[in-house]
Amino acid sequence: MLYLLYQWIQDSEAGRLLNFLRYPTFRIIAAGVASLLLGMFVGKPLIGWLRFQQHGQDNVREDTPDTHKKKKGTPTLGGMLILLCIGTGTLLFADLTSRVVWVILLLTYGYGFTGFLDDWLKLSKRNSKGLPGRYKIVLQTVFYLVAVFVFLCEWTHADGSFGPRLLIDTRLTLPFVPTQRFNPDLGWLYVVFGWFVVVGTSNAVNLTDGLDGLAIVPTIVAAFTFAVLCYAAGTTLNLADSELINGVPRLVATPLWKYLGIPQVPGGAELAVFCAAIMGAGIAFLWFNTYPASVFMGDVGSLALGGALGGLAVLSKNEVASAIVHGIFFAEILSVMLQVASFKMTGKRIFKMAPVHHHFELKGLAEPKIIVRFWIVAILCGGVALLSLKLR
What confidence category does residue 249 fall into, taking pLDDT thresholds of 50, 70 and 90?
A: low
Of 140, 143, 255, the closest CA to residue 152 belongs to 143
Q: How far apart are CA 226 and CA 205, in angstroms?
A: 16
What confidence category does residue 31 fall into, taking pLDDT thresholds of 50, 70 and 90?
A: very high
CA distances from 383 to 224, 321, 325 (A): 10, 12, 8
Q: Identify the weakest region by mean pLDDT among 144-158, 281-295, 375-389.
A: 144-158
Res. 236: pLDDT tops 80: no
Which residue did the predictor score with more confidence, 63 or 177?
A: 177
Cis amide prior to 75 (ω within 30 degrees):
no
Neighbours of 277 (CB within 10 A): 34
Neighbours of 366 (CB within 10 A): 12
Tens-digit pLDDT profile for residues 68-86: 777 788 999 999 999 999 9
Pairing of strands 162-166, 153-156: antiparallel
What confidence category does residue 3 fall into, taking pLDDT thresholds of 50, 70 and 90?
A: confident
Whole-structure pTM value:
0.93
Alpha helix positions (H), 290-326 = 298-315, 322-325
H or E, element range at 244: strand 238-245
54-74 average pLDDT score: 74
- Pair 166, 107: CB distance under 8 Å: no
Burial 89-122 (b: 16+ CB within 10 A, else e): bbbbbbbbebebbebbbbbbbbbbbbbbbbbbbb
- Pair 94, 31: CB distance under 8 Å: yes
- Pair 173, 263: CB distance under 8 Å: yes
Tens-digit pLDDT profile for residues 183-201: 899 999 999 999 999 999 9
Neighbours of 14 (CB within 10 A): 11
Q: What are phi and psi of 240, to 5 degrees?
A: -80, 120
* N residues, the chain: 392
- Pair 152, 167: CB distance under 8 Å: yes
Res. 241: pLDDT tops 70: no
Tens-digit pLDDT profile for residues 131-157: 999 999 999 999 999 999 999 998 877
Q: What pLDDT is stored for residue 222 in this prediction? A: 98
